[in-house]
Chain A
Amino acid sequence: MPHISYDNKEIAFKLVYCGPGLSGKTTNLARLHTMLAEHVRSKMISLDTAEERTLFFDFCPIEIGTIEGYRVRFNMYTVPGQIYYEASRRLILDGADGVVFVADSQRDRIDDNIISFELMQENLRSYHIDVPDFPLVLQYNKRDCAEALPIGTLEAHLHLANIDVFEAVATEGVGVMETVRCVCRRMVNRFQID
């Protein structure tokens, strides 16, 4: 459930980007940050974690408007992939309202994608988040690579039915905004239905 600040009249949703190392989680967030107008986004903060950086920032999209008079804010995070980042992963994933799983479309990364997805599911379950009923979007990133994994491959391996899927080339900004729009809409809808 999002954090509701009654004093500030604000509802804050937590959106987390998961995926195997170097699949493009930070690139997604960094590109998104540059695409958003300055007055709706905070500064991007970057921590040097092993192999890749952990990024986070928040933004208040004007187009979403307000919910019952409350301004909507999205807190965006990438999660460090290494196993030993347990406190960080818990801090980021616990209480998440939505997840974008950024898969690497390169064929030799299929096992990494599957292992990472299963680890994410396990983490979410340990924080009492029920995956089937959760705003989760699958993004196939790096669609410009040679012989990219066909769409449907991971869904079949991971038995994912009816999951929202997007294709992206995050380095060029392709598919980045579409992915985030979809998951944000689903988070807000779920909150309003709840």
Chain B
Amino acid sequence: MSMCAKQQILLVDDDSDLVWGLGRFLIRAGYAVTSCGDGGEAVLILETRSFHALVTDIQMPHVNGLALIEWARQNRPTMRVLVMTAFGSTSLREVVSRSGATLYAEKPVDLDLILRMLRAETRDSFSGIVDDIDLFDYVQLVIATKHQVVMEVISRKGERGQVFFDRGNARHAACGDLVGEAAFFRCLSFEGGTFRSLPWVDPDQATIHRSGEHMLMEAARIKDELSRDKSVQLDEPECDFGTDGGGAERHGDGTNVSTDFQIG
């Protein structure tokens, strides 16, 4: 990257150690970095110079990161905003996502992820916020468009999972202690939450081998059968105490809840 092509990054954090460490990392990665320790200072700098991206903390002494990213959204709508915080919460994540930030990362930050997010923007593509979308619809779109993307899903209860989509197929998923298909199905069974797309990185291992569409259909089937089982249990709260009958036997409808499949 030549000097004149260097992209400008504004790094805002009152933690001087972090500014020094992250700043050096970004400079070595080929960026020109300007730093400051408060949102107010950052606005003054942003008013006079243009930047490729803003990387900011939330908790700062005078003008905090939320006010800064709101200012940036209003006044520098094309600038990429990456947010770091040591005080993460589900509600803060949601507020940050809605503000249009590209990345919400909790400290200690994953330096490679920040770099991937900064580099991802060079592609000829859009980013944005989508509200009130069914996760199945989004996954269907990712599969149909055959994109390579890492989708991070966070449930309302704070449970978190990642699915690695590789050109129409899910190659790997992780969610808590689960990996592979079980993790994929778990992520798609979340009842509300947020998701975001992270730039592609090869997973450490390939744990899913069925096609993306097959996984999606199977996830829908499992979700439906779980809801049915829940509603049956609600309908029959007093039955079967002291028996050793399994759930499927209790339903007595001969339904098959096996996850077996065949490929003809």
Closest B-chain residue to A86, C-beta based? B224
The contact size tier of chain A is 20 to 34
> Which of B136, B145, B255 contacts A91, CB < 8 Å?
B136
Q: Is the CB of A5 within 8 A of B218?
A: no
Known A-B contacts A85-B221, A90-B136, A91-B220; A45 and B146 likewise in contact (beta carbons under 8 Å): no
| A91 CB contacts on chain B under 8 angstroms | 136, 140, 216-217, 220
- Of A46-54, A62-70, A98-106, A179-187, the one with at least 4 CB within 8 A of chain B: A46-54
DSSP class of B's interface residues: helix, strand, loop or mixed?
helix
The answer to whether the Cβ of A137 comes within 8 Å of any Cβ in the partner chain is no
In B24-46, the 8 Å CB interface with A consists of none
The complex places the Cα of A45 from the Cα of B223 at a distance, in Å, of: 19
The answer to whether the Cβ of B98 comes within 8 Å of any Cβ in the partner chain is no
| A90 CB contacts on chain B under 8 angstroms | 134, 136, 220
| A12 CB contacts on chain B under 8 angstroms | 144
| A47 CB contacts on chain B under 8 angstroms | 214, 217-218, 221, 261
The complex places the Cα of A94 from the Cα of B146 at a distance, in Å, of: 20
Closest B-chain residue to A94, C-beta based? B137
> Which of B134, B137, B217 contacts A45, CB < 8 Å?
B217
The complex places the Cα of A33 from the Cα of B223 at a distance, in Å, of: 28
Q: Is the CB of A46 within 8 A of B263?
A: yes
> Which of A3, A46, A51 contacts B144, CB < 8 Å?
A3
Q: Is the CB of B262 within 8 A of A46?
A: yes
Q: Is the CB of A56 within 8 A of B217?
A: yes
The contact size tier of chain B is 20 to 34
In A1-37, the 8 Å CB interface with B consists of 3, 5, 7-8, 12, 30, 33
Q: Is the CB of B224 within 8 A of A48?
A: no
| B227 CB contacts on chain A under 8 angstroms | 84, 86-87
Closest A-chain residue to B216, C-beta based? A91
| A51 CB contacts on chain B under 8 angstroms | 255
Which A residues contact B (CB, under 8 angstroms)? 3, 5, 7-8, 12, 30, 33, 43-51, 54, 56, 80, 84-88, 90-92, 94
Q: List 26 A-B contacts (CB under 8 A).
A: A3-B144, A5-B145, A5-B146, A7-B145, A30-B264, A33-B264, A45-B217, A45-B263, A46-B263, A48-B256, A54-B217, A56-B217, A80-B221, A84-B224, A84-B227, A84-B228, A85-B224, A86-B224, A88-B224, A90-B134, A90-B136, A91-B136, A91-B140, A91-B216, A91-B217, A94-B137
